[in-house]
Amino acid sequence: MSVAAATINKFTNFSNWFDELLFQARIADSRFPVKGFIVYLENGMFILEMIRRRLEELLVETGHKTMMFPLVTTDELFGKEAEHIKGFSSEVFVIERAGDKQLEKKLIVRPTSETIIYPMFKLWIRSHADLPLKVHQTVNVYRYETKATRPLYRAREFPWNEAHTAHATAADAEQQVREAIEIYSKVLRELGISYLLLKRPDFDKFAGAKYSIAFDAWNPDGKVNQVATVHNLGRNFSKVFEIEFEQKDGSRALVYQLCYGFGLSRVLAALISQHGDDRGCVFPPSVAPVQVVIVPIPFKGYEEAIASYCKKIHERLARVYRCVMDDREDVTPGEKFYHWEMLGVPVRVEVGPKEVSSNKVTLFRRDTLERVEVDLESLEAQVEELMRKIFTSLRERSSRMMERLIVEAQTPDEVKKALSERKIARIEWCGKEDCAIKLKEYAGGEIRGSRFDVAEVPQKSCIVCGERAQEVVYVAKAY
């Protein structure tokens, strides 16, 4: 990132800040010549892989089987669930030809995988002994987004993990909702990402679902970034795809189902946007491509001593951390500082004549931009402690920011004002879709839903129609 770009304020000019940072920090390149498709560069791909591994580890620990399903389904299968196809019909990519041959049946490219996976569930599930069945896959999905595309947030191809489960009873399915939420919450907590856990209004739930739960992460521009969702499908899909099982008493019944998805690219966007600052990225140590960088501070007559000292430090830290030594001779220490700060490296080790002569090192922490001098003898312990402090600082800073972004609104005018100031409005609502539509048309934001993890009881009337409020909900603009 250039010195000029490093002065862009992410809260006042988020769009420019984010777009500049993606390429300069080697996260992604949006210049691919097909609109809505991007190239993930080495640092972006590294972080995606780290997040994916942790998510899949938790899924496997809780009994999810790792599978890989085909990319396509038929037009016939896709059209089986009426609400589902209605929800995605404008977004699907369709394959009609193979070379110069017209296909007998059109193929639908995966926008999500319910209609691809559930014909197989019908074959695999025979009795109660086959339940619960829990599977997951990490794949790219394809949606012809009609809104303006934006790298990581809204693309026509994006990586995600999706899980699909089948259960014998409604109670088992409800318990699975809680397990899925806890898995996703744990991954996001470990990344220090703050979010609202919201039950979507019925008119905005996943097509074909009984109800939907969404993780809405805050964003510096006031919009919310939906990073993950959990959908209780009830028996809607099992009825259509005839997924039945034999119960213990010999009778037959339809299974209860869930599907849930974790948007890897959107989580990466939240990681950059929530923790980054005007100097660039600030990554939690667990996922930072480089965790420690050693920067020698050259001084005439001390070149060999400093180089030797840095080499010893590198040998020690590289056993524990992803550590690099920046010994480029044609770049000044100041330029190196800018470079590694922009890349979000959590800890920088600075070594000059003073450190060599005193048998110490200077540690710089990326989150607060503070320096501390420590004894070489305790280097590993000091770096480890600093890593813990950095993560705690990032997590708490993100949480405080989300709290500051939420404001109470008593009228549509107050909602409009809050949204114009890049805030999230908390309101009381009657639950009618008509009021939600009127509020969106007037204020420009949409009702995202009510808290699923916290009981909030309405005390007043709907701010739109004045009737008795049924829910406390959150209003925001969204990607």
Asked if residue 27 belongs to a domain, the reply is no
Residue 325 CB-half CA count within 13 A: 18
Classify residue 31 as exposed, middle or buried by CB count within 10 Å of its CB (0-12, 13-18, 19+): exposed
pLDDT of 151-192, one tens digit each?
Answer: 999 999 999 999 999 999 999 999 999 999 999 999 999 999
Asked if residue 286 belongs to a domain, the reply is no
Three-state DSSP class for 299? coil
pLDDT at 4 over 50: no
DSSP per-residue string spanning 416-444: HHHHHTT-EEEEEE---HHHHHHHHHHHS
pLDDT at 395 over 50: yes
DSSP 8-state class, residue 345 = -
What span, in angstroms and rounded, lies between the C-alpha atoms of 163 and 166?
10
Residue 305 confidence (pLDDT): 96
Question: Domain holding 204: CATH number?
Answer: 3.30.930.10
Question: Domain holding 356: CATH number?
Answer: 3.40.50.800
pLDDT of 432-453, one tens digit each?
Answer: 999 999 999 999 999 999 999 9
Q: Which residues of 254-290 are buried (b: 16+ CB within 10 A; e: fewer)?
A: bbbbbbbbbbbbbbbbbbbbbbbbebbbbbbbbbbbb
Asked if residue 5 belongs to a domain, the reply is no
Three-state DSSP class for 190? helix
Taking the CB of residue 349, how many other CB atoms lie within 10 A of it? 23
Average pLDDT of the chain is 95
Name the domain count of the chain.
Answer: 3
Answer yes or no: do 65 and 198 share one domain.
Answer: yes
pLDDT of 121-145, one tens digit each?
Answer: 999 999 999 999 999 999 999 999 8
pLDDT at 388 over 80: yes
User: Which among 385, 420, 454 is the end of a domain?
Assistant: 385
Residue 445 confidence (pLDDT): 96
Asked if residue 97 belongs to a domain, the reply is no
Answer yes or no: do 63 and 158 share one domain.
Answer: yes
Residue whose pair of structure tokens reads 């003898």 in the numeric block:
377
Residue 7 confidence (pLDDT): 60
Asked if residue 390 belongs to a domain, the reply is no
Question: Domain holding 456: CATH number?
Answer: 3.30.110.30
Answer yes or no: do 139 and 219 share one domain.
Answer: yes
Answer yes or no: do 263 and 208 share one domain.
Answer: yes
User: Which among 330, 355, 385 is the end of a domain?
Assistant: 385
pLDDT of 22-64, one tens digit each?
Answer: 999 999 999 999 999 999 999 999 999 999 999 999 999 999 9
Q: Which residues of 404-418 are buried (b: 16+ CB within 10 A; e: fewer)?
A: ebeeebeebebbbeb
Beta-carbon contacts of residue 469 (< 8 Å; ≥ 6 apart): 428, 429, 430, 458, 459, 460, 461, 462
Asked if residue 2 belongs to a domain, the reply is no
How far is C-alpha 274 from the geometric centre of its chain's CA atoms?
A: 11
Query: Would the pTM of this model clear 0.85, i.e. be above it?
Result: yes
Domain around 449: 407-476
Asked if residue 78 belongs to a domain, the reply is no
Answer yes or no: do 354 and 249 share one domain.
Answer: no
Asked if residue 34 belongs to a domain, the reply is no
User: Which among 247, 274, 301 is the end of a domain?
Assistant: 274
What span, in angstroms and rounded, lies between the C-alpha atoms of 188 and 194?
7
Answer yes or no: do 222 and 130 share one domain.
Answer: yes
DSSP 8-state class, residue 111 = S
